[in-house]
Amino acid sequence: MNILAIDTAGRSASVALLRDDTVLYETVCNCGLTHSETLMPMVDAALKMGGIRAGDLDLYAVTAGPGSFTGLRIGMAAVKGMALAAQTPCAGVSTLEALAWCHIGEGTAVCAMDARRGQVYWAAFDLATHTRLTPDAAAPAEEAVAYAQTCKKPVIYIGDGAALCYNKDEQALPCPPALQVARAVGAGLAGHAMWHNGQCVAPALLMPNYLRLSQAERERAEREAAAEHATR
């Protein structure tokens, strides 16, 4: 099975090409350019280096959120555009699950992404099997730490929100900064597992999971609530 995986949920963009669970090619770009500028050249390079045509792809895997609203839309739009012609199956992978699939060992991975405003997007996974232990959530870092402190196995925090958790939990295992970045290979491996479990969808059904309202939507809701309160 030939899999093209894309991650645009965070600051860096990443593309990976896999054959089943073997990584053929992977690249990460964090050079200050927008994902809309870097993504398609990275896809072209991956296919060229892997000697695979778009028509030879059996599955597209893409991080579906949580993450940057704009970044997620860019990745989703790119995958839908490429997959629609041949109706190639797609796997919308949780960004947090993609982080977990980049690691293996014994213990519990608490994957955390900086969600701003003092919060993190987080979820926990078993490192050995990548079994999900908690649902994706947007919450204060204290919530992730409180869960981690109930775990019987060693805990490692992964993701760009890891530092927010380490500051509150000195017992956790340190994760090197280079391994805290989301990578498309994690989305590809998770997508491969989703395909085996019958969880992939047609391109038109691929949807992002933002977990919370955008800043513009939150501000509008606050204005509407304030206006309603003023009329009482």
β-bridge mates for residue 23, sequence order: 18
- Residues 116-132 have a mean pLDDT of 94
Is 208 within 8 Å of 66 (Cβ atoms)?
Answer: no
**pTM score:** 0.91
Q: Are strands 2-7 and 13-19 parallel, antiparallel or unpaired?
A: antiparallel
Same fold, 2-96+182-211 and 103-179: yes
97 CB contacts (<8 Å, ≥6 apart)? Answer: 111, 123, 125, 130, 132, 186, 190
What does the DSSP 8-state code read for residue 180? S
| CATH number assigned to the domain with residue range 2-96+182-211, chosen from the 4 options 3.40.1190.20, 3.30.420.40, 2.30.30.100, 3.60.110.10 | 3.30.420.40
Mean pLDDT is lowest, of 69-78, 89-98, 141-150, 217-226, for 217-226
As given in the structure block, the two tokens for residue 206 are 């691929």
Domain limits of the chain?
Answer: 2-96+182-211, 103-179
pLDDT at 16: 98
pLDDT at 117: 83
pLDDT at 144: 96
- Structure confidence at residue 131 as a pLDDT band (50, 70, 90): very high
Radius of gyration in angstroms for the set of CA atoms belonging to the chain, rounded to a whole number: 18
Specify the residue for token string 């893409």. 62
Is 8 within 8 Å of 74 (Cβ atoms)?
Answer: yes
Specify the residue for token string 């395909």. 195
| CATH number assigned to the domain with residue range 103-179, chosen from the 4 options 3.40.50.970, 3.30.980.20, 3.30.420.40, 3.90.1140.10 | 3.30.420.40
